[in-house]
Structure 1
Amino acid sequence: MRIAYHEIYAHPLPEGHRFPMIKYELIPAQLLREGVITQDHIFSPTPLPAEVILLTHTSGYWQQLKEQTLPEREQRRIGFPQSPALTQREIVICQGTIDCALHALEHGIALNVAGGTHHAFADRGEGFCLLNDFAVAANYLLYQQLVRQILIIDLDVHQGNGTAAIFNNNPQVFTFSMHGAHNYPFHKEVSDWDIPLQDGMDTLTYLQLLKDALPLLIARVKPDIVFYLSGVDILETDKYGKLKVTPDGCRERDELVFRTLKQHRIPCAVAMGGGYSPHIRDIVNAHCHTFKAAAAIF
């Protein structure tokens, strides 16, 4: 198992946004302390070349990010004031997801401590996302002809609207999203398969929906690789999630995805996605369970 982590994941972020972004430091630290991983499992990605970014994002948008000329309204849509450091952070995260995908193709699974920036569109960012790491990595694999069919399983509580829009007319990438029906983004894009979840949904109902969906997805898509967004904002403790999934239920969700993929010998690249519980330990513990499940099953 390989894990992408770079110190830039948690630095620098604008004042007022350090929590819950501190999780990017705490996740690898906790995994190391508990003996789940060693330093040999961790690698630091390098910045992504511009030509790879341009396989997914428009040249005009990339120029705005590079030259720091995003209009104020676009910065508000993203939620961060622009800075060179934030752009650098995003291109490192994207390279980390590409590296995870390449490792997964050979060894089964790899996880990015950050990533899951699924609200970024080809020509704009939003929802704390500047570049779409799953889209960048998927398009890179297709461009290099390393795979023919990709499945994106997005289980963050917020719909991956940017991802859905980017791959709207691409039959080689199937987008699947289980997300809060009344949660951000309030204007949803159309994924290949969307399952909207009602506020207050409990663990058993959530897991049954996923159990029913996964075999159908595998049979329909027959993916060469899966990109899995394992957001922990489905937790009942989350400030914005509006669901009632327990920590054990969140762990079972990850185990269900990983067991299904392992059974069908499908490699998996994982990104952590969102998590906004008031106590950072709840966020970090839930994310760490994702790594533990991956280590145990793969």
Structure 2
Amino acid sequence: MARVNVYYADHFVLPLPDGHRFPMAKYSRLRERLSAEFPTLRWGEARPASDQELALVHERAYIAAVAEGTLAPAAQREIGFPWSPAMAERARRSVGATLQACRAACAHGGLAANIAGGTHHAYADKGSGFCVFNDVAVAARLMQAERARRQPGRARLRVAIVDLDVHQGNGTARIFADDESVFTLSLHGAKNFPFRKEAGDLDVPLPDGCRDDEYLAALDHALAELDRRFDADLVLYLAGADPHEGDRLGRLKLSFDGLEARDRRVMEWAWQRRLPLAFAMAGGYGNDLEATVQVQVNTYRVALGYHARWQALAATPATGSGTGGWQNAAA
């Protein structure tokens, strides 16, 4: 049985000053937990995204400034990280991991993951909010380009981005504002960062203190609306841990069980439509690092269950043919 492909770059450590609030250690800790608890995962080192791949979304002058460390001080402050060669390399590999996860999900069916990623605050011409390049935007564009090269007469790949980080994916929304082939759905804290939101295709602002029942009802409604308005071929899911009640930047009050139910709803929605799904971990800033990691471990547990369904379906002969019982619309 095929394993879930997971791509990592946690050994490319971004050097940060003492007291910096970004929890860099969460990535290596997550990989330790996943390796110990889910031995059937198939691990792959993230490769760096190339200039050509990044330029599907980002301005070339911005790509060069990140590579060379020539961003203006204000632009570097907006990203929130000090520049270093390691920062630039890690940013490329964070994108590369999502590209690899998308290719794996589309080639084999089922689910694949980036152990980091979800850098949805990055715009075409700038970074913001701990996001240098926008991995899901680059991935959506690259998967569209690769289908067009393989099958030039086929309709453009349609990508649904389901963003359940607690912060609105403002960069992603702006990048795809006039693109009917990509649908951006975001559930986020109404009063949280970014304080100036961008208009996505479907934005669901939530009040401070929002708990499981209210959140899950909003998600059910949003997924139904997405289904009504958009016929997807591929799902990119940002499974943020920061809606958790213990997150210091989240302001929502979801429990571990509520977040696991959230993951099941998204993966069930994709499964029912036989849509390959690639997911990234996005934000998580728990007062207790282990709580953030536990939210993300739970996401992988759910994903493994849905991937097993995909593999069972692929092994079942379709009526009237000797091929597998599913057809991959994203291929």
User: Which TM-score applies when normalising by structure 2?
Assistant: 0.86
| Alpha-carbon distance between aligned partners in 1 of 2:183 and 2:142, rounded to the nearest angstrom | 15
1:37 positional shift: 3.0
Instruction: Give the match for residue 72 of structure 2.
Output: 71
1:85 aligns with 2:123: no
**1:292–1:267 distance in 2 versus 1, CA, 3 Å:** same
Amino acid at match of 1:64: A
1:18 positional shift: 7.7
Per-residue CA deviations over 1:138-169 (Å, capped at 9, x if unaligned) read 11111222652000000000000000001111
Alignment of 1:265-284 (within 5 A): 265-284=274-293
1:260 aligns with 2:263: no
Instruction: Give the match for residue 240 of structure 2.
Output: 231
Amino acid at match of 1:100: A
Amino acid at match of 1:47: P
Per-residue CA deviations over 1:270-298 (Å, capped at 9, x if unaligned) read 00010111111100000010111000122
Per-residue CA deviations over 1:210-250 (Å, capped at 9, x if unaligned) read 11221221232111000000001101111111111111101
1:163 aligned to 160, 165, 172, which one? 172
Q: State whether residues 123 and 174 of structure 2, in contact with CA within 8 Å, keep that contact through their aligned partners in structure 1.
A: yes
- Let me know the Cα RMSD of the aligned residues: 1.3
Amino acid at match of 1:30: R
1:22 positional shift: 0.7
Q: State whether residues 111 and 303 of structure 2, in contact with CA within 8 Å, keep that contact through their aligned partners in structure 1.
A: yes
1:114 positional shift: 0.3
1:41 positional shift: 0.8
Amino acid at match of 1:172: S
The range that moved more, 113-122 or 60-69, is 60-69
1:140 aligned to 136, 139, 142, which one? 142
1:122 aligns with 2:131: no
Instruction: Give the match for residue 95 of structure 2.
Output: 94
SS where residue 23 of structure 2 aligns? Answer: helix
Instruction: Give the match for residue 220 of structure 1.
Output: 229
| Alpha-carbon distance between aligned partners in 1 of 2:109 and 2:21, rounded to the nearest angstrom | 34
Per-residue CA deviations over 1:94-142 (Å, capped at 9, x if unaligned) read 1110110011112211011000000000000010000000001111111
Larger Rg: 2
**1:281–1:51 distance in 2 versus 1, CA, 3 Å:** same
Q: State whether residues 8 and 89 of structure 1, in contact with CA within 8 Å, keep that contact through their aligned partners in structure 2.
A: no
Q: State whether residues 11 and 28 of structure 2, in contact with CA within 8 Å, keep that contact through their aligned partners in structure 1.
A: no
| Alpha-carbon distance between aligned partners in 2 of 1:26 and 1:51, rounded to the nearest angstrom | 32
Amino acid at match of 1:13: P
1:20 aligns with 2:29: no
1:203 aligns with 2:206: no
User: Which TM-score applies when normalising by structure 1?
Assistant: 0.96
| Alpha-carbon distance between aligned partners in 1 of 2:175 and 2:6, rounded to the nearest angstrom | 26
SS where residue 188 of structure 2 aligns? Answer: strand
SS where residue 24 of structure 1 aligns? Answer: helix
1:55 positional shift: 0.8
1:29 aligned to 16, 27, 32, which one? 32
Gaps of 5+ in 2: 149-155, 308-331
1:293 aligns with 2:302: yes
| Alpha-carbon distance between aligned partners in 1 of 2:16 and 2:80, rounded to the nearest angstrom | 10
Instruction: Give the match for residue 185 of structure 1.
Output: 194
1:45 positional shift: 1.8
Gaps of 5+ in 1: none
1:19 positional shift: 5.5
Amino acid at match of 1:58: E
Per-residue CA deviations over 1:55-109 (Å, capped at 9, x if unaligned) read 1100111111111101110111111111111111011111110110011112211
What is the count of residue pairs matched by the alignment?
295
Amino acid at match of 1:218: D
Q: List structure 1 runs of 4+ shifted beyond 3 angstroms.
A: 16-19
Per-residue CA deviations over 1:21-75 (Å, capped at 9, x if unaligned) read 21100112111212x134x611012111111111110011111111110111011
| Alpha-carbon distance between aligned partners in 1 of 2:105 and 2:231, rounded to the nearest angstrom | 16
